[in-house]
Amino acid sequence: MAPAEVRTPVIGDGEINAADFFDPQSSTCGIAAAIATLPAQGGRVRLSAGTYVLRRSVYLPSRLSLVGEGSATVLVIRPLREMPLQRDCR
Protein backbone atom coordinates (compact mmCIF):
# COMPACT_ATOMS: atom_id res chain seq x y z
CA MET A 1 0.00 0.00 0.00
CA ALA A 2 1.45 3.38 -1.00
CA PRO A 3 1.83 6.02 1.73
CA ALA A 4 -0.87 8.68 1.73
CA GLU A 5 0.10 12.04 0.32
CA VAL A 6 0.54 14.67 3.03
CA ARG A 7 -1.55 17.73 2.31
CA THR A 8 -0.61 21.09 3.81
CA PRO A 9 -3.87 23.00 4.26
CA VAL A 10 -3.34 26.73 3.87
CA ILE A 11 -5.93 29.46 4.49
CA GLY A 12 -3.95 32.39 3.20
CA ASP A 13 -0.36 33.45 2.80
CA GLY A 14 1.47 31.64 5.62
CA GLU A 15 -1.72 30.82 7.55
CA ILE A 16 -2.71 27.30 8.59
CA ASN A 17 -6.12 26.23 9.85
CA ALA A 18 -5.49 24.07 12.95
CA ALA A 19 -8.89 22.40 12.45
CA ASP A 20 -7.35 20.46 9.56
CA PHE A 21 -4.97 18.84 12.06
CA PHE A 22 -7.35 18.43 15.02
CA ASP A 23 -6.78 15.14 16.82
CA PRO A 24 -8.35 14.65 20.27
CA GLN A 25 -5.89 11.79 20.93
CA SER A 26 -2.90 14.09 20.40
CA SER A 27 -1.39 15.64 23.53
CA THR A 28 -1.66 19.04 21.79
CA CYS A 29 -4.99 18.43 19.95
CA GLY A 30 -3.02 18.61 16.68
CA ILE A 31 -1.86 22.20 17.26
CA ALA A 32 1.82 21.14 17.29
CA ALA A 33 1.30 19.28 13.99
CA ALA A 34 -0.18 22.43 12.42
CA ILE A 35 2.77 24.51 13.67
CA ALA A 36 5.23 22.00 12.22
CA THR A 37 3.88 22.54 8.69
CA LEU A 38 4.77 26.25 8.63
CA PRO A 39 8.01 27.36 6.99
CA ALA A 40 10.98 28.64 9.00
CA GLN A 41 9.98 32.21 8.08
CA GLY A 42 6.95 31.75 10.34
CA GLY A 43 3.28 32.31 9.77
CA ARG A 44 0.00 32.00 11.59
CA VAL A 45 -1.95 29.06 13.01
CA ARG A 46 -5.66 29.82 13.32
CA LEU A 47 -7.77 28.04 15.96
CA SER A 48 -11.54 27.90 15.65
CA ALA A 49 -13.76 28.74 18.60
CA GLY A 50 -13.76 26.01 21.23
CA THR A 51 -11.91 24.63 24.23
CA TYR A 52 -8.69 22.75 23.50
CA VAL A 53 -7.53 20.49 26.35
CA LEU A 54 -3.77 20.06 26.06
CA ARG A 55 -1.74 17.43 27.91
CA ARG A 56 1.59 19.11 27.16
CA SER A 57 2.83 22.57 26.31
CA VAL A 58 2.89 23.88 22.76
CA TYR A 59 6.16 25.47 21.59
CA LEU A 60 5.73 28.62 19.48
CA PRO A 61 8.83 29.40 17.41
CA SER A 62 9.86 32.95 16.54
CA ARG A 63 7.77 34.70 13.89
CA LEU A 64 4.76 32.46 14.53
CA SER A 65 1.36 33.62 15.74
CA LEU A 66 -1.31 31.46 17.32
CA VAL A 67 -4.67 33.19 16.83
CA GLY A 68 -8.21 32.27 17.76
CA GLU A 69 -11.68 33.73 18.03
CA GLY A 70 -11.02 35.88 21.09
CA SER A 71 -12.61 34.67 24.33
CA ALA A 72 -14.42 31.92 22.39
CA THR A 73 -11.09 30.07 21.91
CA VAL A 74 -9.69 28.62 25.14
CA LEU A 75 -6.51 26.60 25.74
CA VAL A 76 -6.46 24.47 28.90
CA ILE A 77 -3.51 22.35 30.00
CA ARG A 78 -4.16 19.25 32.11
CA PRO A 79 -3.09 18.21 34.60
CA LEU A 80 -2.58 21.70 35.89
CA ARG A 81 0.58 21.76 37.96
CA GLU A 82 2.04 24.57 39.98
CA MET A 83 5.79 24.88 40.16
CA PRO A 84 7.50 27.33 42.52
CA LEU A 85 10.10 29.56 40.87
CA GLN A 86 13.48 30.30 42.36
CA ARG A 87 14.00 33.79 43.75
CA ASP A 88 17.52 34.10 42.48
CA CYS A 89 19.08 31.89 39.81
CA ARG A 90 22.76 32.76 39.89
Q: Residues 32-82: pLDDT tens digits?
A: 999 999 988 889 999 999 999 999 989 999 889 999 999 999 998 888 766
For residues 70, 11, 17, 19, the Cα torsion angle rounded to the nearest 10 degrees is: 110
Task: State the first-to-last Cα distance of the chain, in angstroms, to the nearest integer.
Answer: 56
Determine the Cα–Cα distance for residues 22 and 42; give it in Å rounded to an integer.
Answer: 20
Task: Look at residue 9 and tell me whether its pLDDT is greater than 90.
Answer: no
Q: What pLDDT is stored for residue 78 in this prediction?
A: 85
20 DSSP 8-state letter: G
What is the band of 4 on the pLDDT scale with cuts at 50, 70, 90? low
Determine the Cα–Cα distance for residues 70 and 66; give it in Å rounded to an integer.
Answer: 11
Q: What pLDDT is stored for residue 48 in this prediction?
A: 93
Q: What pLDDT is stored for residue 32 in this prediction?
A: 96
Q: Residue 14 region, left (φ>0) first, then alpha (ψ -120 to 50), else beta? A: left
Q: What is the pTM of this model?
A: 0.73
